[in-house]
Chain A
Amino acid sequence: MKNNFVISDREKEALINYLSGHFSNTDAEILNTWLKKNPENSLLTDRFTDIWQASSYLQINKSIDVQSAWNELQSGLQQNTNNQSHWKRWLQVAAIVIISLLAGGLGSYFISHSQNQKPEPQLVEYVSPLGSRSFVKLNDGSKVWLNSGTTIKYSNTFGNNNRHIELSGEAFFEVAKNEQLPFTVNTGEICVTALGTKFNVKAYKEEKTIETTLLEGAVKLESDVVKLQDDLVLKTNEKAVFTKRNQSMAIVGQLRSENEKDIATPGRPSLKIIQSVDPQPIVSWKEKRWIINNEKLGSLSVKLERRYDVNFIFDNEILKEYSFGGTLEDETLAQVLNAISYTAPIRYVIDGKTVYIMADGKKMEKFKNLLMK
């Protein structure tokens, strides 16, 4: 777009008039002439159109009622189809799903059962809601532990002709050996392939990084979205940290001894491999014993929010900088907060689902005095 790309003010005006729909005969002539000048001009117009459309989504989405559109479509289909019983069965399935959602403590089972038919590929979805963790044993014998606020999806043919899982959130995988069928975990940005291993993947949508930690064996990392180095294989006790970036760009795949300088140019997604990590604190979320390894209150509060389904409000951003370490054994939220307030000059108030964190003046003085000595 740098080479001989020229646009005059009047041409800009015509382009904006075109996008906004207030387009005159003169505008049309000007824009058409400009478009013919250079193929780059067409590309720019297409890109602007794309941005124009996408930027109105959030607004338009508010005015759209998807459920009632869906109901309308269903009744439209009912008129169109002879196979009415099919639709009735569907409604029954919907009812089952809703009931299981209401009853759902651990995972909700999201699958429609078709009777008297050969099994068809269908999507299974397991949800571990905020405030609870769950465990799933898959068809192939593999085990999955889901942390709070995590969803996995897979086909009901899982284990027969594929072992694909889609993950949003954090899960620990203990993969049963099967060299013929690779086990893949797809997070959107990063895809982890394993044959028979134990590994942890943390890929919460709202977090800036995707972290894969390997406890046993080897896994391969791939990406559909960005270009990673070929054959990126993680070994035991290594952790790969992929930093997402909204201005997603070419990936700097970086391995161990290679040039450190190229890692993580700010603003670009990057992948960093950390060697000889202690995996226990990373995967301890699935145990009763939860190990916290010198973590700042800011990031710890995010984990506590998911684990106990609460929201943290900090009186002062500085409080997020206090670090905390220790082992917690199936404590209640109040017990955890008590433990934290012993080591940091903070006070807390729990109000329903909200936790307020404030500075404690008296303790602050004490801490200062200790430092002075």
Chain B
Amino acid sequence: MTGIEKELIESLKKGNPKSFELVFKTYYSRLCTYAFDYTRQLETAEDLVKDFFLNFWNNREKLEIKTSLSGYLFRSVHNQCLNYLEREKKKKLEISSDNLYLIELKLRQPLSSDYPIGSLLAKEMENQIEEIIENLPEQCREIFKLSRFDELSHKKIAKKLNISENTVKVQIYRALKKIKEAIPFILAVLFSFF
């Protein structure tokens, strides 16, 4: 943790609203992006993150951050997301069984116990990732962008590009593999932080 980060946490604990605003505005969108992966609805994701910040501020005096501020925020929102999924699970009569399998597995994440969740989001890696995506082979790039940026289903992408659904998935896997290979050292460095 940097000296400034310690100061910031101290001033949060003492109730300085400017510090709170700074933290909120820095991390809000990032935390919502993280929560979106669990809720699949942006509005729900935003509500979860707002709820978290409300609690965070109301309990500021008891705040204890041992690792880093961003690590703490992502871990907390992660827990908030798990609570949300637990509630969804209880409503299982209303949700389809496929969704239930997804929830079951999501509840187990991170699958490796010491994985620093949300580390790429916390470290503002999106521009680097975008650059790596731009350098992917043409078809691979196009498919990955349609999937991630336009949120198109595999079926729609296959139809749009006149290819098989299987090709779509193979290319998405390829893209992820290439991105992962381009940033392994960053993750290795991040591991030591959390």
B-contacting residues of A (Cβ < 8 Å)? 9, 12-13, 15-25, 27-28, 31-32, 35, 39, 42-61, 63-64, 66, 69-70, 72-73, 76-77, 80-81, 86-87, 90, 93, 111-112, 114, 120-123, 153-155, 157, 162, 164, 166, 184, 186, 224-226, 246-250
Bound form: Cα–Cα A51–B132 in Å: 11
Expressed in whole angstroms, the minimum distance between the Cβ of B185 and any Cβ of chain A is 4
Task: Number of B interface residues at 8 Å Cβ cutoff, please give it.
Answer: 80
Flag if A70 contacts B4 (CB, 8 Å).
no
Bound form: Cα–Cα A55–B110 in Å: 18
Q: Which of A46, A122, A157, A186 contacts B2 (CB 8 A)?
A: A186
Expressed in whole angstroms, the minimum distance between the Cβ of A167 and any Cβ of chain B is 11
Instruction: Tell me the interface secondary structure of chain A in the complex.
Output: helix
Flag if B24 contacts A47 (CB, 8 Å).
no
The residues in B between 45 and 90 inclusive whose CB is less than 8 angstroms from any CB of A are 46, 50, 53-54, 57-58
Expressed in whole angstroms, the minimum distance between the Cβ of B55 and any Cβ of chain A is 10
Given A64-B28, A66-B28; A73-B120 close (CB under 8 Å): no
Flag if B180 contacts A48 (CB, 8 Å).
yes
Judged by a CB distance under 8 angstroms, whether B128 is at the interface is yes
Flag if A56 contacts B189 (CB, 8 Å).
no
The residues in B between 1 and 55 inclusive whose CB is less than 8 angstroms from any CB of A are 2-4, 7-8, 10-11, 14-19, 21-22, 24-25, 28-30, 32-34, 36-37, 40, 42, 46, 50, 53-54
Given A18-B102, A73-B50, A184-B3; A53-B120 close (CB under 8 Å): yes
Bound form: Cα–Cα A12–B171 in Å: 10
Flag if A12 contacts B170 (CB, 8 Å).
yes
18 contacts between A and B (CB under 8 A): A16-B169, A20-B154, A50-B119, A52-B148, A53-B37, A53-B120, A54-B33, A55-B133, A56-B36, A56-B149, A57-B33, A60-B36, A69-B46, A69-B50, A70-B28, A77-B57, A81-B58, A164-B4
Bound form: Cα–Cα A56–B176 in Å: 13
- Chain B residue contacts of A69, Cβ below 8 A: 28, 46, 50
Expressed in whole angstroms, the minimum distance between the Cβ of A224 and any Cβ of chain B is 7
Q: Mark B138-159, 1 if CB is under 8 A from A, else 0.
A: 0000001001110101100000
A-B pair count, CB < 8 Å, reads 224
Judged by a CB distance under 8 angstroms, whether B94 is at the interface is no
Flag if A64 contacts B4 (CB, 8 Å).
no
Expressed in whole angstroms, the minimum distance between the Cβ of B122 and any Cβ of chain A is 9
- Chain A residue contacts of B126, Cβ below 8 A: 54-55, 57-58
Flag if B111 contacts A45 (CB, 8 Å).
yes
Flag if A48 contacts B176 (CB, 8 Å).
yes
Flag if A24 contacts B101 (CB, 8 Å).
yes
Flag if A60 contacts B29 (CB, 8 Å).
yes
- Chain B residue contacts of A21, Cβ below 8 A: 40, 102
Q: Which of B7, B151, B179 contacts A157 (CB 8 A)?
A: B7
- Chain B residue contacts of A90, Cβ below 8 A: 17-18
Bound form: Cα–Cα A51–B14 in Å: 36
Bound form: Cα–Cα A112–B11 in Å: 12
Bound form: Cα–Cα A28–B18 in Å: 46
Q: Which of B54, B125, B128 contacts A73 (CB 8 A)?
A: B54
The 3 closest A-B pairs by CB, nearest first: A42-B111, A249-B185, A54-B120
Given A28-B105, A76-B54, A154-B4; A248-B185 close (CB under 8 Å): yes
Flag if B173 contacts A12 (CB, 8 Å).
yes
Given A23-B101, A69-B46; A112-B16 close (CB under 8 Å): yes
Flag if A13 contacts B7 (CB, 8 Å).
no
Bound form: Cα–Cα A90–B18 in Å: 8
Flag if B173 contacts A16 (CB, 8 Å).
yes
Bound form: Cα–Cα A66–B189 in Å: 30
Flag if B176 contacts A52 (CB, 8 Å).
yes
Bound form: Cα–Cα A254–B29 in Å: 39
Q: Mark B104-139, 1 if CB is under 8 A from A, else 0.
A: 110001111001011111000111111111000000
Given A47-B187, A59-B149, A76-B54; A23-B102 close (CB under 8 Å): yes
Given A56-B149, A250-B185; A64-B129 close (CB under 8 Å): no
Flag if A247 contacts B105 (CB, 8 Å).
no
- Chain A residue contacts of B95, Cβ below 8 A: none
Bound form: Cα–Cα A246–B77 in Å: 27
